[in-house]
Every structure is written in C-alpha cells, then in structure tokens.
Structure 1
C-alpha cells in the first residue's frame, strides 16, 4: 500500500511561535447547562490561534482535536521549540490550512485536562478537584463550549470546521447544531456513532483505570495516581489506532534487545516494549478521570438517529455547507463503510458531499501522520469554498 510522504516540519518551517490562551466563561449565575441537565460554571477554556482574523471575521477555521489531544495543533512555544503542534504539517503559511488566508483556532475540549475545565480542575464549591463530582459531558456540550469561545471572539461564521476521530464527531455536531454558521466541514476518520466494537474497547480502558487500587473512586489527586490502570488503558487504545500491516511492518515478532525468550513475564517482543513505552509516556501528560469522561462522551454520540429527525433534516436542508468526508483504507476502528454511511445520510438530507478514501496502511491514526495527499486534498477543498 502507499506510504505517506515524509514532510515533517522543523521550527523554521512550522506555523511559528504560538501562545496558549485561557478565558473564563459561564460564570454564575449564567452557568452552562449541560445535556444531562447539570449546570457548570465558571468554565476555563484553553485555545490557540494562528493567522489573522479579517475585518468581517469570516475567514475563521475551527480545528477540533481528537479525544486525548489538545489545542496545540500547530507551531511551537517560545520556551519549547521542540514541542511542535500535533498537526503542524497541515497548518501554517502555504500549507493545506493556509494561515496566510485563514484565521485558525483550536479549542481544548470540555472535560479535558489540557487547560479546559475537567474532573482534575478545582470545584469552586469545595476548593478541591472535582473528581467524579464533575458532571458527565457530551460531544454536544463540547461544541457548546467552543461556541462560547467563538461568541467571545465575535466570530459568527466559519469558513470550515475540521477534525479527525472524536474531532470529526465534533465537526458533525457543529453541522447539526449550527448549520447556518458553517460554510464547509471536513470530518476525517470518524463515525456517526460508535460500533459495539468501539464501545467495547473504551469499556476495557475504563475498567482498567477503575480496577487500579489507586483510583479511589476518582479521588486520587492528593495521593498516588492510578498510573498502572491508565497506562493499560492507553495500551489498549493505542492498538486500535494502528493496523495489522503497520504493526507487522514496524515490529513483526522481533525480540527486544535479546536473542531468545526470557521465559518470564518481562518484555520479550519489541511490540511489548513499544506499548509499555506508550503507556508510560501517556500517564505523564493525561488525567485518568478525563479518560473516563471523554471515552464515555464518545460512546454516547449518535448522529445517525438524530440526523433523520425532522428538526435536524430541516436544519441541514437549510444549510449551505459543503462536506468533504475522508476515510482511510486500513482504519478498523472507524472503517470506511462507516464513512460511506455518513456520506449517504448527508446526501439524503440534500447536502453537497465529496468523499475520499485514502489508501494507507497506518490505521486510524493515519490522519496525524504527515502526508502530502491529505494536505493537498484539504487545501484544494478549502480553496474552492466561497
């Protein structure tokens, strides 16, 4: 199968220095009302921007990140030049999402631990971390929080909303909730609703966290954290992001720094070492409770039933949005058949939809790997939006 081109960036050709911004919204008595009926506020929301917002404020593109991602989609921090954004090959001057033309914004999702209010944040009522007192949030709640940021910035329309995986779910939610704001949408490697398989893997990850004795019903912030459970959860999730071809090419059955089996339960195979490394690295940056909340929000998401409701159909029929749906041939977490179901559903509601399946053997995470095919596809589509 075709391999993505190697067009990795360096600080010299990246989107440049970027600064994380945090604003506080939904202060009492105007708390945010969540889909569950619970109220939350005040809420701190982290975001980053690239490019310049024009006078009419109609050149904005919203980037929706995947579930363990953050707002640092491109560029680098002045004091951390090696910490480039997760989509730096895509966003910047002259790139697929060209910051010479567009004002690009990425907002950290509600429930996260990367600058936006989540279960690890301080509960204003107690002065302690929320833990499981944090209310359950949905993809819709995440979109509403993003909408508050855009309202704060005075942005009333979006040239495009773009995202992959759980970010793609947010893209679709935006199109259903605020079709009048969206001129184009690019959902990538995503689905209208989780399959039983996807829910099952998320449940295994949650159970791994909750089975860790250090989890303590979510009240671990002043004690040892459930690092082992979170590491196992990440290992499980990471396997779903890859593909059989990618794992066979990268690891096969090669041994890790040895010529024979150890005949114990240590690391024998390279793939074992890799997964343990991924788990260890993950616990250093992410909160276990956020993992619980965000995976549950993804499991709750179900656009397929909602988009057939009369209200949603009417809203979409009045939309002038153009859609570019992208899938990957080796993505077995959100397979291409699910992208085709999305395309068919959108077409039935009268939408202008283009579809592309990219041939790649990297699995679900392929959209995060530098690939000129993807940048050219997105850049060309955006250029054609009036």
Structure 2
C-alpha cells in the first residue's frame, strides 16, 4: 500500500465508549479498523463515508491483506473515478461485529482476556452507525458530504440519514432496502443453522483450538451467494455444463460447473471470515426495520430531513428488488425529502453494484457533483 494518503492508509483506533446498544448493553472500549483515502480539506466538508456489505470490510480500494485481491470497490473509488481521493476524504470502517479488526465476537473481551465468542452482545445496523459516528468524531468530521453503500451498506446509509440527519448532507443507497423481508430472514437462518450444526462450532467457543467450523460457514456462504446472483446470469455463465468431464459421474462429486463454482466460493470465504461474525451480522440485518424504529411509518424516519437521497436498484436483483427502493422513495416523497431514483439494467443480480457498471458510475458521479455546487 502506498504511503501517499490519497491512495489509502490502514488505521485502527480504540475508542473509550461506552456505546449503548439497541439491545440495552453498554459496550466499551470499542475497536474500529478503518482505511482513509485522500485528505480532509480545511473546513472538513469533503468527507465521504463508504459503508460495506455483510461480508465486506474496510479494504474498499486497497489490496486485501489475507487474499491479496484488489479492494472490493476499486471500480468506484480512485483517481478520476466518481469518488476521488483527489477531491474527497474517503473513510471506510470495518463494521461493529465483524472480524477484520473491529470489536466483534472474534476480538478479545477486555474483562476476560479471551475472545468474546457468543458472549458478545447482539448488535443492530443502527449500532454499527453509532460506532461509525464515534469514529468520525475522532477524525474531526462533524458532517459528511455523503454516506454511500450498497446492500447492507445501503441500510447503513439510510440509518445514517435517519439517526444523524444533521451530519448527513447526502446519502447514496444502492441495491438495498428499508427492512429485511421474511425471505431474506429465511435464507439467513439456513446459513446460521449450517454453522451451528457444524460440530466444530462448539457453541462459538472455537478460537483457542484454531479449528473453526469451516464446513458450516462454507455452506452458509454458498446458500447466501445464490441470492446475490440472477437466474439469467447463472444460466448464461454455467447453464448445465459439466465441470472438467464429458459425462456425468452418477455420484455426488461436483458434476456441474455451477456446483464447483459454489464450492469454490464457500472454501475461499472461510479463509477471510469468522463464523461467529457471520451469525452476528446476519442477525443485525434481520433485525433491521427502519419503519419499526420510527413508530411504524417509514416516512417518519425522514421527516424534515435536510439530506439529499439517491437510490439505485437493479432489475435482476431479487434479494432487494426494485420494489424495495420504490417503497423508500415513496416514504421520502411523503416526508418531503429530496430524492432521486433510477433502476439500472444488469444481468448480474444483486452483485451488480460491485461489478463494472458505467451507468452506476455516472449516476454516483453526477449526484456527488450536483451536491458539491
């Protein structure tokens, strides 16, 4: 990683807290791992917070230290790109509950000197946002030019605008929703049960042995990954093509290319993610319901909001379909908030926001430039 602050600085901070969680617990201290790109200008008006998705991390535009792969959103962030370190001070923090340096079940409980495991308190999306606000206080950022996120990151962006409207000049919400549906919760429960059914899970107390429940976590990842794709995309890429053979084996090896692909996704995932963190973050997603947090009416979350909103959906996303974004736009309109919305066409399903999309880049770039005038 370059020492030039325009191109990424990996950092971590321990904040004294306490942070009062939605579940009632007080958490302190709070460790947050984060990266910054660019420099904060003289009046601290150019800060953009990037919020990552469920299995994402702070390495948004720099190489991942475990996998060596490029940052997960280098298509959007970098010199000459919509979010440009030459113009913006970009911040991306590993969310509370995750496993890349922020406080979570894999981190050490200062009271015991051992990993928290399943004694870590259950968290919510709003708890993640409150922790990010503490980080911004530490960095001297009183107000964000924009908060940007896709999927779970979009939920954080919505929660930022609802929880800290005075600190959120604009919010870009991509391929997301204002609450988790029954179908979303059902898929997550399948993944959680796969992890907890793995004999190596041991009630979440597996850190000392260095033998985590990789089989269960891999299955959870495989099940979830299906929801990130589209039927048309899977058919175009794999169809019913066989994997490395011309005839079926009449057994239970990975005969089909799509089977091999999913197994690879599961195996590679366990190298960089913690099983308990997967339990905690999926539960935070399931609990997310912005209307419920504001008296049962989504418009209440944005009443008299000064925030500008940009919502983007993809036509083949069946995890967070366009109807979810339209529902948010209707609530924003009812609240009198400034909102723009576009549905983009892509064959790639929910994952489209992470892939090459000139249309998405133009939307984000145009929205940010309009807000900077």
TM-score calculated relative to the size of structure 2: 0.95
**Aligned equivalents of 2:227, 2:352: Cα separation in 1:** 12
What are the Cα deviations for residues 324-365 of structure 1, in whole angstroms up to 9, with x where unaligned? 100000000001011100110111111111000000010001
Within 5 Å, which residues of 2 pair with 1:166-245?
Answer: 166-223=152-209, 224-245=211-232
Q: Which has the higher contact order (CA 8 A, sep 6+)?
A: 1
Q: Which runs of 5+ in 1 are unaligned?
A: 1-10
Matched residue SS, 2:31: strand
Instruction: State the partner residue of 1:333.
Output: 319
Pairwise CA distance, 1:113: 0.2
Whether the 8 Å CA contact 2:66–2:272 is kept in 1: the answer is: no
Instruction: State the partner residue of 2:352.
Output: 366
The answer to whether 1:324 aligns with 2:310 is yes
**Aligned equivalents of 1:230, 1:70: Cα separation in 2:** 17
Match of 2:19 among 32, 35, 44: 32
The answer to whether 1:103 aligns with 2:103 is no
**Aligned equivalents of 1:181, 1:381: Cα separation in 2:** 18
CA RMSD of aligned residues (A): 2.1
What are the Cα deviations for residues 81-138 of structure 1, in whole angstroms up to 9, with x where unaligned? 9532110111112111122211111111000001101101111111111100100010
**Aligned equivalents of 1:316, 1:288: Cα separation in 2:** 35
Instruction: State the partner residue of 1:4.
Output: none
Instruction: State the partner residue of 1:378.
Output: 364
**Aligned equivalents of 1:118, 1:317: Cα separation in 2:** 33
Paired residues, what number?
A: 370
Match of 1:284 among 246, 256, 271: 271
**Aligned equivalents of 1:266, 1:331: Cα separation in 2:** 30
**Aligned equivalents of 2:266, 2:56: Cα separation in 1:** 15
TM-score calculated relative to the size of structure 1: 0.92
Match of 1:158 among 136, 144, 149: 144
**Aligned equivalents of 1:344, 1:34: Cα separation in 2:** 30
Query: Taking structure 1 as reference, are residues 184 and 164 closer, same or farther at Cα in structure 2, changes over 3 Å only?
Result: same
Instruction: State the partner residue of 1:303.
Output: 290
Q: Which runs of 5+ in 2 are unaligned?
A: none
The answer to whether 1:63 aligns with 2:50 is yes
Pairwise CA distance, 1:231: 0.2
Instruction: State the partner residue of 2:248.
Output: 261
Q: Moved runs in structure 1, 4+ residues, more than 4 A?
A: 79-82, 307-312
Matched residue SS, 1:230: helix
Pairwise CA distance, 1:178: 0.5
Matched residue SS, 1:190: coil
Query: Taking structure 1 as reference, are residues 130 and 80 closer, same or farther at Cα in structure 2, changes over 3 Å only?
Result: closer
Query: Taking structure 1 as reference, are residues 311 and 235 closer, same or farther at Cα in structure 2, changes over 3 Å only?
Result: closer
Matched residue SS, 2:310: strand
The answer to whether 1:19 aligns with 2:9 is yes
Whether the 8 Å CA contact 1:183–1:322 is kept in 2: the answer is: yes
What are the Cα deviations for residues 1-58 of structure 1, in whole angstroms up to 9, with x where unaligned? xxxxxxxxxx99xx974231000002xxx42211111111111101111111001001
**Aligned equivalents of 1:233, 1:69: Cα separation in 2:** 16
Whether the 8 Å CA contact 1:64–1:162 is kept in 2: the answer is: yes
Query: Taking structure 1 as reference, are residues 277 and 98 closer, same or farther at Cα in structure 2, changes over 3 Å only?
Result: same
Query: Taking structure 1 as reference, are residues 311 and 298 closer, same or farther at Cα in structure 2, changes over 3 Å only?
Result: closer
